[in-house]
């Protein structure tokens, strides 16, 4: 024999399943909660504890608020990145409205050879030839190919590229400095950094037969001038 309460439970159960599987808006959730409360009151003779329905409502509102906060935080995180769109997609910066100005950038890096390789380079006895001369030319060529290597870099007209390499006997290393200049609408930091990077890789390639323990390190921008952001120096 079934009691009325048992019947009421069976009729209320499908609604509760719909309630907790509902992925719609907070308005739909509130409506479903209200209907469930009415059914429970008709079955048990009294409404459910207010803390239960309030807890569910609060959880739904909290989830909606968290989702909105995450979306706002995501948009804010992209705001200062010019190479990223509002939705996080990669984009090339439009520089058409920027002013033309003299732009110069200087970068540096280091290749630690170790004493054995350092002595061979110093004596110009490496099997592939003059390490420093080849690396210098490679760095200059690298600067001119920056936009082909870095996807979102602009193809700019360089007015000057300088790459200097010097042996450091105290650290058994090659010190590399690269400079790039242009009269244009975008900076040349990447060109200077690419010059140093390609020169460093060339030193490694020229010397790798003598040692695999060579390290390329400390590649960084030292200073830049020109453009909207003005002058910048690592020393300041």
Catalytic residues: 205
Question: DSSP letters of 125-179?
Answer: --TT--HHHHHHHHHHHHHHTHHHHSTT------SEEEEEEEEETTTTEEEEEEE
Helix (H, G, I), strand (E, B), or coil: what is residue 90? Answer: strand
| N-term to C-term CA, the chain | 88
H or E stretch covering 119: helix 115-122
State how far the Cα of 154 lies from the Cα of 230, in Å rounded to an integer.
19
* Burial of 222 from C-beta contacts in 10 A (0-12 / 13-18 / 19+): middle
Paired strand residues for 109: 176
Helix (H, G, I), strand (E, B), or coil: what is residue 6? Answer: helix
């Amino acid at each position: 024999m079934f009691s009325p309460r048992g019947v009421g439970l069976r009729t209320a159960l499908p609604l509760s399943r719909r309630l907790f599987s509902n992925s719609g808006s907070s308005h739909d959730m509130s409506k479903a909660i209200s209907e469930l409360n009415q059914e429970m009151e008709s079955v048990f003779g009294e409404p459910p504890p207010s803390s239960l329905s309030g807890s569910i409502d609060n959880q739904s509102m909290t989830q909606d608020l968290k989702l909105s906060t995450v979306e706002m935080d995501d948009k804010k995180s992209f705001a200062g990145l010019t190479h990223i769109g509002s939705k996080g997609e990669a984009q090339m910066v439009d520089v058409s409205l920027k002013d033309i100005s003299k732009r110069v950038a200087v970068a540096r890096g280091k290749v630690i050879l170790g004493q054995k390789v350092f002595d061979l380079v110093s004596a110009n006895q490496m099997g592939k030839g003059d390490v420093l001369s080849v690396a210098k030319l490679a760095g200059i060529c690298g600067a001119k190919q920056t936009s082909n290597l870095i996807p979102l870099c602009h193809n700019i007209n360089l007015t000057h590229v300088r790459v200097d390499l010097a042996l450091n006997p105290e650290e058994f290393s090659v010190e590399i400095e690269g400079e790039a200049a242009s009269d244009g609408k975008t900076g040349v930091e990447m060109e200077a950094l690419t010059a140093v990077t390609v020169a460093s890789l060339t030193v490694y390639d020229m010397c790798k037969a003598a040692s695999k323990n060579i390290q390329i390190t400390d590649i960084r921008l030292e200073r830049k001038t020109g453009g909207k952001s003005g002058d910048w120096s690592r020393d300041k």
